Structure 1
Amino acid sequence: MTTANLSKRVIHFYFVALSILLVSACTGVGQGKKGAPTLFTEFYETAEYLLQKAEEVKEPTNTEWQLAAVQALTKESKYVLADSVIEYLQNKTLNTQQKNHLLLLIADNQYAQNQLDSTMKTLKRIDAKLISAPAKLHYLKLKTELHVRDKEHQAAVDTLFELTPLLTVGKEKQQYNDLMLSELNMLDPSVLNQFNRASANSSTSTSVSNTTTSNALNSELAAIEAELTARQTGNADLAPLTDQQAFVQGWYSLASIYHRYQLRTNQLLRGVEAWKLLYPNHPVIDYMPSQLQNIPEASPYQPSKIAVLLPLTGRFKKPAQAIQYGISYAFYNQADAKKRQQEEQDAGYDTSLVNSTGDAQNINSTRSARDYIATPPHMLFLDTNTMSMQEIAQQLHSQQIGFVIGPLLKPNVEALLPLVKDIPVLALNGFPADQRTSSIHYAFPLSPEGEAEQAAEVIFQNKHKKPLLFAPNSDFGRRTAAAFEARWKSLSEAQQATDETVESYPAETHYFSKDSDYGKFLASALHIDQSKERIKQMQGMLGRKLEAEARSRRDIDAIYIISKRKELMFIKPYLSVTISPYAEDIPLYASSRSHSADITNTQDKELNGLVFSDVSFLINDESQMNENIQAIWPKQRLSTLRLFALGYDSYNLIEQLKPLQVIEGYKFPGLVGEITLDADNTVESKLSWATYENGTLVEVTSPLSSQ
């Protein structure tokens, strides 16, 4: 950069600082502070105050004040201003630590603006050996968050192994230990068992016979004990464990026990207690993951009889059948998995460790759990169109049903729940207002209102200020738009409560009908008609024709479209020609209603750049479930496959509801998305997002945190 250009940058920086001082007479908190606040800690000085101090201290000793100002500007969401200060600092002589701190501040700024790929690229440029202790903590936390959001579970675990020993605050230790176990639990069992296999394959002679598999709890604990004993006694073939090796191995061993026995309380309790004896000095013991606390309360439902209530005849027959297929598919998948698990346990079952303690009760409890694995529950499907809720409730009690999936229709949910307060129920719709009658009743609504609320959150997190909604002029459209508007309002109000300087605008909805003239509809929504009227008035006043082009409004910065694919194919081309060429492109978002199979192989290309939401397995099919289903059930609409996913997840949730209800931060990866349970026992699923690039579906990382 030339000297003249650099001088311009210097002048621009101080102009920025002066502009801030003129905006407000308030000089911020901490005026008496002698030195700059410590970077990457919680300080409360404002950007205005920090820039003022940077000007008072003068060059070149004011760098720490300027760096702190960047941190404050990012926290205050003043990104343009932060970029100006960053650009100035990049042209300034900095020491090696300051250079690395600046890179971390840049990464922070990028992350705050949801530029996730850029954030990771910047983090890779940082030399973690040359930054301060608070910066190292911040660096590792940010790196962990990126790995978690990108579902890079092994990378997240490796980063957490660096981070957790550095934490000093109890709340953070608990938070990141919970996250560590969650991420370890997502790894392949072969990775979790790597240390156990190492011991099992060693030549160490022990009192516990080696087995062909480490799947039985006794064999697993024996393998851990064998390796530790061998290392502690100085076995020549095994080098002593370093503290770091013991730390890592202890985590993997604990996660292996949790992964294998999380749905069987007795084995999990016994396994965790045995693990504590084997790793008495492991730091995790002081902050045991929440998933391993209150284990009896988190014991899963294990019903021997399950009733499924669906409208298998009549108007809702087809959607009910899709859900039924999903439930049945999950039933047989789970039965096969448990059968394989029992065969593995039978092959590797060994009682020597139990017998050494003389604990016959543990042997019986283990056998009892194995019997449960071998016996799948009995399934009973009841048609809610041929029986009243009173008749169904009587049958549920007479047949001693242990768990109910359904009903699907809200009136049936409202009628049934008061009649079965003593039976666990997972309703496939939302609770009617103030309707939940028991702590063992749950709701699993895959609703358009919930999708609209998530869209509001994503658009808000993407830093948009005023979205425009296009929705069908129907009861469905009004309900969905109202859900978006309400969520947007609450998000805006929450932001203003913490920062009064942030401008807030309500979401604005325009409704179309199936007979709409989309050209006129969009001209009205984008105020093109008002621009034309102003031009006409000016021509009338001047008495001559003006060389003027109608312009679209400039106050909106995002559009959310709630429509079917057919309607979207009319709206998007009109938008392309309606928006003024002088205006910036407006990001377009859409609901899952517009995601459908492209039979002509041309529509997806026309939708390039559009971002939309949908259930996870229709966007990110890592398990190839979608591919497998369509191979045996071809030519199904995506709307049908969404209901299949609802059924599949509803069955698998039977064993997950108690952990979701009891364990804070617990998540379950379902076909519909990452599943959690709110305080009202309503199942919530985090939708996935995607866009089209040259007609190809590409997943988009959601700005909503995965933690």
Structure 2
Amino acid sequence: MLSACSTTDKTAIAPQTVEKPTNKVANKQFDAQALYESTRLKRGVDKIQLLYAARDKAIDEQKWSLLEIISNELIKSQGVDRTQNTLYLALAQFKQRQYASALSLLDEQQDKMTSPVHFYWHQYISGQIYAAQALTLQALPFLFRASETAEKHQLPAQDLNRLVWQQITQLPAFTLQSLQQGSNIQQGWVNLALYSQLYVGNPIALHSAMNNWQRRYPHHPASFALPEKMQNLLEIEPFAVKKLAVLLPLKDEKNRRNSEAISNGILAATTFNQGNEVHFIDSEQNSDDLKLQLSQLQPDFIVGPLLRENISRLENDGVLTDYPVIFLNSSEQPQAAFEHFYFALSPEHEINQAIEHFLTEPYKKPLILAPQNRSGTRLIEYFQNQWQQYSEVKPEVALYSSTKDLQQQVRQLLEVDKSQQRISTINLMFKEKLHSEPRSRRDFDVIYIIADAVKTRLLKPYFDVSISTFAEQVPIYAMSRSHSPQVDKSDKRDLQGLYFTDMPWMIPNTHTAAELRSQFDSLWQDNNDLQQQLFAMGYDAVKLIPELRQLNALPGKGVQGLTGRLSVNDAGAIERQLQWAQYQKDSIITVERVQQKPTPLFMLEPLLNSVQNDIEAP
């Protein structure tokens, strides 16, 4: 942590080696609170020395609220380094999760820093704040500048180095490649993270890449990661699965077709070499019977259960604790074991992806349309909660109750009916007929439809004809549920221009497992959209098994599957990045849409000030 020597040493702040004050009052038997209380009896230099001792002790004891009090008192005193103590104050607020206040303090100090140490800690604390919010791309510029300053001025920076490595390994390879510019320090960090992703699982190539990196970047601060971290990567071995157990509701008539679809995907993904076994087990049996069956079978890996209530039951009963598992749904409980992973086709993934794109574009005010039912209300609430973390402008929300009079509902939503009433009123005032055209409201700049494929084919044309022809065209986006290969067999012209997200498996002509798609279409022509998605899910679950340990070790690493680009987060959840596509004339084409994790609203202003000032190290 931080350490400083009263008023005598202006290098002030050092991250690991805590330099204790030499005054006798800072004896070990006094804690930070006792030292601070004793300052009330002192004046002048003696009081300042005691405050410094109490401040250092508060850092050692991680008493952040006390550090905030002491730092504030020191800032008011004369003859002390106010910038240094303001940095301590920002640190204390950061540790108490007062992120906005800490960033404001740091922003105020940008033109007051007089030493490299000030600049180093200003950048380091700023980077920590953004890192704490999982804003890796926003954190890294601060952390890179801190790393460059520490290297240039020989400042101890072990904690910083660990944080840079932890953050940079969160990024996927294509993002890392875009950061391969800047200083030699930045390039060294980026290239080491990139090599660790590209060559993990290939010991010979990884070893060669690390040797090349060392020759190119001798004495680089990232060198700390080579011995331990690279050795860990070299030692990562994929799961060797000879005996796979699959837990599905096999005897549940309600879920029979869904279980068959997943089973077919699992079998399609399984390589049947000699000795490979796949055992399908009914997940509906009681926990004791299932536990006994698994102990007799001793599988190398388990896929399933599918139903969330079964996942909760088996986790609570400890049935699967000793096995590596991919659950085919999310869980309401924390990760039960280190090698338990959760694979769900969650619509929230799509909403997050859409919000990231809208804010990157940037669109200011979206209009969200959803059905007036439990699912529609839940997704609307999720969209609103996510959006309002990043924007002061509330999204416009509308719920439709039925397909009856749907056109009239859209006209009312866009206030075209009110415009028509105003036109009718004016026409009554004149004998001659006036040339007029209804105006739609223009206070939103993007439309997001949450609807199934049939309703989307009704809604999209109604929006097209209801939005004023002289107004700028408003882009319309939709979720995957708006796209149906079965419904698309009819005319697609009504959907012209509509953007949507979906798993690559469901988008035609994406060259994703084209041969497998052809075989699927010939074997299971009667499968509906959900069953096609579950087939892809079962296929990806098996194909992910050899990759899971690498994905778990490198959060930024991802693999392309039928259901999207797949990665694993810290909680063991498998996250999906879906494919963007657009209806154009009579076909569907894949498109690229820009998106980046947005900065929370309460952190946005300090970040903008930092970018505008473009501060340089002293």
The structure 2 residue matched to 1:301, chosen from 236, 239, 261, is 239
In structure 2, what is the Cα distance between the partners aligned to 1:486 and 1:31? 36
- Aligned-pair CA distance for 1:300: 2.9
Q: For residues 284 and 459 of structure 1, do their structure 2 counterparts lie closer, same or farther at Cα, with a shift above 3 Å needed? A: farther
Which residue identity is paired with 1:621? H
In structure 1, what is the Cα distance between the partners aligned to 2:245 and 2:545? 12
CA contact (8 A) 2:172 2:556 kept: no
| Pairs within 5 Å for 1:83-122 | none
Matched residue of 1:585: which SS?
Answer: coil
- Asked whether 1:692 is paired with 2:583, we answer yes
Matched residue of 1:589: which SS?
Answer: strand
- Per-residue CA deviation, residues 586-617 of structure 1 (Å, 9 max, x unaligned), is 10111111212266755222211000110023
Matched residue of 2:281: which SS?
Answer: strand
CA contact (8 A) 1:417 1:436 kept: no
Match of 2:343 in 1: 444
Match of 1:523 in 2: 411
Matched residue of 2:444: which SS?
Answer: coil
The structure 1 residue matched to 2:261, chosen from 306, 322, 326, is 322
Q: For residues 169 and 452 of structure 1, do their structure 2 counterparts lie closer, same or farther at Cα, with a shift above 3 Å needed? A: same
Matched residue of 2:390: which SS?
Answer: helix
Matched residue of 1:596: which SS?
Answer: coil
CA contact (8 A) 2:480 2:501 kept: yes
In structure 1, what is the Cα distance between the partners aligned to 2:219 and 2:538? 39
Q: For residues 531 and 273 of structure 1, do their structure 2 counterparts lie closer, same or farther at Cα, with a shift above 3 Å needed? A: closer
Instruction: Count matched residues.
Output: 427
In structure 2, what is the Cα distance between the partners aligned to 1:513 and 1:612? 23
In structure 1, what is the Cα distance between the partners aligned to 2:196 and 2:233? 15
- Aligned-pair CA distance for 1:546: 7.0
The structure 1 residue matched to 2:329, chosen from 423, 429, 433, is 429
Q: For residues 274 and 546 of structure 1, do their structure 2 counterparts lie closer, same or farther at Cα, with a shift above 3 Å needed? A: closer
Q: For residues 310 and 273 of structure 1, do their structure 2 counterparts lie closer, same or farther at Cα, with a shift above 3 Å needed? A: same
- Aligned-pair CA distance for 1:686: 0.2
Unaligned runs of 5+ in 1: 1-27, 33-42, 44-144, 150-155, 186-254, 263-267, 337-373, 493-503
Match of 1:606 in 2: 494
- Asked whether 1:176 is paired with 2:176, we answer no
Which residue identity is paired with 2:374? D
CA contact (8 A) 1:528 1:551 kept: yes
In structure 2, what is the Cα distance between the partners aligned to 1:301 and 1:526? 55
Q: For residues 178 and 389 of structure 1, do their structure 2 counterparts lie closer, same or farther at Cα, with a shift above 3 Å needed? A: same
- Aligned-pair CA distance for 1:276: 6.5
Match of 1:205 in 2: none
Give the RMSD, CA atoms, in angstroms: 3.9
- Per-residue CA deviation, residues 343-389 of structure 1 (Å, 9 max, x unaligned), is xxxxxxxxxxxxxxxxxxxxxxxxxxxxxxx753x32211224x134
In structure 2, what is the Cα distance between the partners aligned to 1:415 and 1:489? 35
Q: Which moved more, 1:275-284 or 1:505-514?
A: 275-284
In structure 1, what is the Cα distance between the partners aligned to 2:213 and 2:453? 57
Q: For residues 457 and 279 of structure 1, do their structure 2 counterparts lie closer, same or farther at Cα, with a shift above 3 Å needed? A: closer
CA contact (8 A) 2:353 2:595 kept: no
- Asked whether 1:668 is paired with 2:559, we answer yes
- Asked whether 1:477 is paired with 2:354, we answer no
CA contact (8 A) 2:427 2:434 kept: yes
CA contact (8 A) 2:357 2:593 kept: yes
- Per-residue CA deviation, residues 93-146 of structure 1 (Å, 9 max, x unaligned), is xxxxxxxxxxxxxxxxxxxxxxxxxxxxxxxxxxxxxxxxxxxxxxxxxxxx99
In structure 1, what is the Cα distance between the partners aligned to 2:314 and 2:431? 73
- Asked whether 1:381 is paired with 2:280, we answer yes
CA contact (8 A) 1:675 1:683 kept: yes
- Per-residue CA deviation, residues 507-543 of structure 1 (Å, 9 max, x unaligned), is 2221223443111210122122333455566678999
Matched residue of 1:612: which SS?
Answer: strand
Match of 1:81 in 2: none
CA contact (8 A) 1:598 1:604 kept: no
Matched residue of 1:316: which SS?
Answer: helix
Match of 1:626 in 2: 517
Matched residue of 2:289: which SS?
Answer: helix
Q: For residues 271 and 470 of structure 1, do their structure 2 counterparts lie closer, same or farther at Cα, with a shift above 3 Å needed? A: closer
Which residue identity is paired with 2:189? Q
| Pairs within 5 Å for 1:86-485 | 148=174, 163=180, 167-170=183-186, 172-179=187-194, 182=197, 185=198, 255=199, 258=200, 261-262=201-202, 268=203, 272=206, 281=215, 283=217, 292-295=230-233, 298-313=236-251, 314-332=253-271, 335=272, 375-376=275-276, 378-385=277-284, 387-418=285-316, 419=318, 420-432=320-332, 434-485=333-384
CA contact (8 A) 1:177 1:284 kept: no
Which residue identity is paired with 1:302? A
Which residue identity is paired with 1:315? K
Which residue identity is paired with 1:483? Y
CA contact (8 A) 1:602 1:695 kept: no
Matched residue of 1:639: which SS?
Answer: helix
CA contact (8 A) 2:325 2:340 kept: yes
Unaligned runs of 5+ in 2: 1-107, 113-122, 124-170, 598-618
The structure 1 residue matched to 2:474, chosen from 568, 573, 586, is 586
Matched residue of 1:381: which SS?
Answer: strand
Which residue identity is paired with 2:352? E
Match of 2:5 in 1: none
In structure 2, what is the Cα distance between the partners aligned to 1:277 and 1:510? 58
- Aligned-pair CA distance for 1:687: 0.3
Which residue identity is paired with 1:328? L
Q: For residues 702 and 519 of structure 1, do their structure 2 counterparts lie closer, same or farther at Cα, with a shift above 3 Å needed? A: same
Match of 1:577 in 2: 465
Match of 1:487 in 2: 386
CA contact (8 A) 1:452 1:481 kept: no
CA contact (8 A) 1:564 1:594 kept: yes
CA contact (8 A) 2:448 2:477 kept: yes
Which residue identity is paired with 1:281? R
In structure 2, what is the Cα distance between the partners aligned to 1:470 and 1:628? 37
CA contact (8 A) 1:393 1:416 kept: no
In structure 1, what is the Cα distance between the partners aligned to 2:196 and 2:263? 34
Which residue identity is paired with 1:440? E
Which residue identity is paired with 1:404? I
Which one has the bigger helix percentage? 1
TM-score (norm 2): 0.61
Q: For residues 630 and 280 of structure 1, do their structure 2 counterparts lie closer, same or farther at Cα, with a shift above 3 Å needed? A: same
| Amino-acid identity (%) | 29
Match of 1:683 in 2: 574
Match of 1:90 in 2: none
- Aligned-pair CA distance for 1:424: 2.1
The structure 2 residue matched to 1:650, chosen from 541, 545, 550, is 541
Q: For residues 536 and 463 of structure 1, do their structure 2 counterparts lie closer, same or farther at Cα, with a shift above 3 Å needed? A: same
TM-score (norm 1): 0.54
In structure 2, what is the Cα distance between the partners aligned to 1:430 and 1:602? 35
- Per-residue CA deviation, residues 662-698 of structure 1 (Å, 9 max, x unaligned), is 2242212221111111121111010001002111211
Task: Identify which of structures 1 and 2 has the higher relative contact order when contacts are C-alpha pairs closer than 8 Å and 6+ apart.
Answer: 2
- Aligned-pair CA distance for 1:174: 2.3
